[in-house]
């Protein structure tokens, strides 16, 4: 599978995730229920797509992603606090992935 095809697959997973996460959150009575993890899986797949293929980079990427997911720097906090639907739930983790990719790019630039 090419990187372009994988990006298309991730886009489909994101769109499907918006729908599934929203429906599941409504059914559970909490839009961002802790048992829903698809919102973290798809953005982290995106991180891994652009991450160097070495376990140390991947472990670091995972730690960074989790930190950004917990801290929720802007605009992730906006999606978490203001957009109370499947799109908001998916987007706050997508923003964490974006922050992670930015830090990884800076680290690659500095270290190589």
In whole angstroms, give the CA distance from residue 87 to residue 97.
15
For residue 18 the two structure tokens come to 């918006």
pLDDT digits (tens, 9 = 90+) for 75-111: 999 999 999 999 999 999 999 999 999 999 999 999 9
> CA angle, corner 11, sides to 83 and 107, nearest 5?
85
pLDDT digits (tens, 9 = 90+) for 17-67: 999 999 999 999 999 999 999 999 999 999 999 999 999 999 999 999 999
Say what the pLDDT of residue 23 is.
97
pTM over 0.85: yes
In whole angstroms, give the CA distance from residue 101 to residue 98.
5
């Amino acid at each position: 599978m090419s990187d372009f095809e994988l990006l298309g697959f991730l886009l489909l997973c994101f769109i499907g995730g918006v729908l599934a996460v929203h429906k599941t959150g409504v059914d559970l009575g909490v839009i961002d229920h802790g048992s829903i993890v698809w919102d973290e899986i798809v953005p982290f797949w995106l991180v891994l797509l652009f991450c160097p293929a070495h376990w140390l980079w991947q472990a670091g990427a995972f730690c960074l992603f989790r930190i950004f997911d917990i801290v929720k720097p802007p605009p992730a906090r906006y999606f978490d606090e203001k957009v109370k639907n499947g799109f908001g739930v998916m987007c706050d983790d997508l923003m964490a992935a974006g922050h992670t990719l930015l830090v990884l790019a800076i680290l690659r630039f500095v270290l190589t």
